[in-house]
Amino acid sequence: MKIFRFMLPLCLLCATAFTPLVASEGGEAPVKAELVAKSQSIQPGQPFMVGIKLDMQPGWDTYWLNPGDSGFPTQVNWELPAGFTAGPLVWPYPERFSSESLVGFGYTDTTLLLTEITPPQKLEVGSDVEIKANVTWLACNESCVPGDADLSLGLPVTQSAPQINQLYARDFADIEALLPKAAAQAFSFFDIETIKEEIVLHFKPAMDVFHEIEELLFIPEEGQIVDYNAPQKVHKGENGEFVLNIKRADAAQAMPDQIKGVLLVSEKGTTVKKAIQIDTSLGATSGSSFYANIWIALACAFLGGLILNVMPCVLPVIALKIFGFVKMANQKRSVVIKHGVVFSIGVLLSFWVLSGALLLMRAYGQGVGWGFQLQEPLFVAVMTIIIFLLGLSLFGLFEFGTSMIALGSKAESKSSSPLMSSFLSGILATLVATPCTGPMLGPAVGFAMTLSTVKALGIFTFVGLGMASPYLFFSCFPKFVRFLPKPGAWMVVFKQLMGFVMMITALWLLWVFAAQTGMIALFIFLAALIVMAVAAWIYGRWSTLVHKKSTRRIATTVAVLMIAFSGYFSLKAAKQGQALAALEQQQEGRHVYSPEAIEQLRKEGKAVFVDFTAKWCLICQANKIVLHSSEIRRAFEERGVVFVEADWTNKDRVITEELQKLGRSGVPVYALYPADQNERPMILPQTLTSKVVKEYLGKLEVPTTTVYVD
């Protein structure tokens, strides 16, 4: 085999001289190449799709990205007008064909290799642009014939939205159906590891993605990894999980850190295959991994939950809970324990509901991550209303004896901190804590998303236990509460100060809401909050026991109706604002983060720093003070590092999948991609300092030219 691979380039070189003879014997060339576009025209700044269409004569084939034991893949060199950029080739899944002991991967009949091209924002409307490409391929039948072609395509520039090119619409539709789907859409659980002479894939299909699976075939993008001739054995477990054993090409050879390829799934009763894109790290799942030990992951989850108590997202609620402990200082021990347990149940139940919803959506192929609820403007609006009304209550505008955080009743009364209050406090603390992943928690949650449902819920349970543990401790050992200040007049001042903290939290949520919807929706929401404030004032002024029963009923009814109507218009504005913001972003053609753009920059020899961030992540915003300082800007320039922001404020499947590849399921995440594409990205700590950023930049090689892109 090694001799054959050594002689193949020489054979192909000799075959080039006989290409005209081979073509003339069949009457036509083995392959006809054509450059085609999906649309009839292009818009300035709007990406458009083109394809290299290869029509093979009967019996001939061309090769995929990994050609197998012999051959070489089709290559495309673009010649584009100034300002145009081309993304990487997008390959439909290949067929497997064999001849004697040789196995190849490629295409027969017709195929279309896709590329997305982005024109510049400034482009003269009414002009024509010409796209050129030099394409080389190898066509094989009983013999192999190299071929090449210089192709060109002219497209007009228009201001209106391009129309579909009906001449090639069917070609693009057929090929797009053959493109591999992301693993996150197909699997609820996926794992890959090396065991002696085998690569082992473990996965559990997501609901309603596959019918009865009959056969599996994994094809890596790189050669010399698997033995193509060896059968790939499939085993199905009782819980619906599949195991695919793949023989390695050379057990003594070191495996790459990243495994890329496609998994072809054949279903019973059909000849059509489904292809799944595999792009994962062996280091994240192999036996030597830090998180391969489930007990270590559980410990990290517990510590991460414990640290959540001092994160800025959850501090307002936690401060009020401590305030509640102070008020219970003179209560019986059994009462204090009950409140601590009920608060913990609220935390745990919230974590179970959130993680269960996340895992369920993952099972149905939805790209979501931790903190996903804050990507919905409707949820942000509801949380803002709750926090805003709590703040007004703390200011003394009105009182709820059985509200989430009951602070207005008598100190000696059992209702001073009712069980329902403690339970709802636990829920509220969890809801506002999820935007902060914090140290230890990010890797643990990311690891949980690669496990089975039961194991993942176990990790999320330990996160909840870690978060609730301080309150359980104070509840079980009330004598430590004595170290807290004794009840007194200071509590009124503290309560009002917490009202300002609630208003600051509401302001942050309004900022998130504005980023997700727009200024019109924000204006409507602010007006609704003013109406709610008036409603709270009416309730607090006329619903107290000093007024007649009829007056209290009228005041309560009016307040409830005002809050209900203003809340309705707030949620309606949130929904319409989200749709309008998405439309405006599409029309303006704003830059969107993509792994392809990162890959292209690395091909150009540039290191890339990616800031995975979100408006609802307070740690992310705090770290921007460091990232956008003049000191760090100069450090980026000196190292030639390109800064890219991946904004996860709204749902973005591409960012979600990239976070999953990095072993994370929430933000902030800071990834430094070296210019060398063979090197894995470096993950920085979640809390940044100038010293930390410089230390990681210092691990890069100094480029000959420097570039800074803001």
SS3 content of the chain, % helix, strand, coil (to 5): 45, 25, 35
Nearest residue to 646 (alpha-carbon basis) of 676, 599, 693, 614: 614
Look at 592 and 181; give whichever has higher pLDDT: 181
CA-based Rg of the chain, rounded to a whole angstrom?
30
Q: Grade residue 554 by pLDDT with cuts at 50, 70 and 90.
A: very high
In the predicted structure, residue 330 carries a pLDDT above the cut 90 = no
Strand partners, 571: none
CB 140, CB 60: distance < 8 Å = yes
Cα gap 610→178, rounded to integer Å: 30
Distance CA(175)–CA(48), nearest Å, equals 16
Nearest-angstrom CA–CA distance, 85 and 301: 43
Residue 453 tokens, joined: 């449902």
pLDDT band of 341, cuts 50, 70, 90: confident
CB 222, CB 256: distance < 8 Å: yes
Q: Please tell me which residue, 506 or 320, carries the higher pLDDT value.
A: 506
Q: Nearest CA to 503 among 392, 620, 396, 421?
A: 392
Q: What is the mean pLDDT of residues 347-351?
A: 86
Sign of CA dihedral 275, 278, 8, 63: positive
1 CB neighbour count, 10 Å cutoff? 9
Q: Please tell me which residue, 102 or 325, carries the higher pLDDT value.
A: 102
Lowest mean pLDDT among 175-189, 219-233, 324-338, 533-547: 324-338
Give the Cβ contact number of residue 550 at 10 Å.
Answer: 8
Q: Is residue 668 reached through a cis peptide bond, with omega within 30 degrees of 0 on the bond before it? A: yes
**Percent of the chain residues past pLDDT 90, beyond the cut:** 26
The answer to whether the beta carbons of residues 53 and 171 sit under 8 Å apart is yes
Q: Which residues pair with 267 in a beta bridge?
A: 213
What CA–CA distances, in Å, run from 126 to 85, 241, 476?
A: 20, 56, 77
Tell whether pTM > 0.75.
no
**Around Cβ 73, how many Cβ atoms within 10 Å?**
20
CB 19 within 8 A of CB 145: yes
Q: What is the pLDDT of residues 256-299, one digit of tens each?
A: 777 889 999 998 888 778 999 988 765 444 333 334 456 777 88
Residue type (1 letter), 663: G
How many other β-carbons are positioned within 10 Å of the β-carbon of residue 427? Answer: 18
Strand partners, 609: 643, 672
Q: β-strands 273-281, 258-267: how paired?
A: antiparallel
- Number of neighbours of residue 396 by Cβ within 10 angstroms: 14
pLDDT digits (tens, 9 = 90+) for 434-464: 656 555 565 666 666 656 667 778 888 888 8
From CA 428, how far away is CA 207, in angstroms rounded? 31
Is the pLDDT confidence value at 62 over 80?
A: yes
| pLDDT score recorded for residue 262 | 94
Predicted pLDDT of residue 671: 92
* Residue of higher predicted confidence among 534 and 597: 534
Q: Which CA distances in Å does 542 have to 185, 499, 553, 558, 615?
A: 54, 22, 9, 11, 39
Query: What is the per-residue pLDDT across 97-144, written as a single tens digit (0 to 9) for each?
Result: 887 778 999 999 999 999 999 999 888 999 999 999 999 999 998 888
Q: Which residues contact 128 (CB under 8 A, 6 or more apart)?
A: 154, 155, 156, 157
Tens-digit pLDDT profile for residues 357-376 = 766 765 555 555 555 566 77
What residues contact 329, with CB distance under 8 A and at least 6 apart?
478, 481, 482, 484, 486, 487
Tokens of 467: 């978060």
- DSSP codes, 50-63: EEEEEEEPTT-EEE
**Which candidate, 452, 532, 484, 528, places its Cα nearest to that of 187?**
452
Confidence band (pLDDT; 50, 70, 90) for 641?
Answer: very high
- Average pLDDT on 336-352 reads 84
- CA dist 326 and 490 (Å) reads 11
Residues forming beta bridges with residue 683, ordered by sequence position: 671
pLDDT at 478: 65
Exposed/middle/buried for 369, CB within 10 Å: 0-12, 13-18, 19+?
A: buried
Q: What per-residue confidence (pLDDT) applies to 378?
A: 83
DSSP state of 248: B
User: What is the DSSP pairing of strand 187-195 with strand 198-205?
Assistant: antiparallel
**pLDDT average, residue stretch 165-190:** 87
Q: Which of 458, 435, 437 is nearest to 448 (CA)?
A: 458
CA distance 109 to 601: 34
Q: What is the pLDDT of residue 652?
A: 77
What residues form DSSP beta bridges with 197?
none
DSSP H helical segments within 254-314, as ranges?
294-307
d(CA 583, CA 705): 39
The residue-averaged pLDDT of 407-427 equals 56
Cβ count within 10 A of residue 332: 10
**Cα 54 to Cα 75: distance, rounded to the nearest angstrom:** 12
Confidence bin at 486 (pLDDT 50/70/90): low
**pLDDT, mean over the chain:** 79
How many degrees, rounded to 5, is the angle at CA 609 between CA 604 and CA 610?
110
How far from the centroid of its chain's Cα atoms is residue 26's Cα?
51
pLDDT tens-digit map of 607-633: 999 999 887 777 787 788 888 888 898
Inter-residue contact 316 to 432 (CB < 8 Å): yes
Which burial class, exposed, middle or buried, applies to 158 when counting CB atoms under 10 A from its CB (0-12, 13-18, 19+)? middle
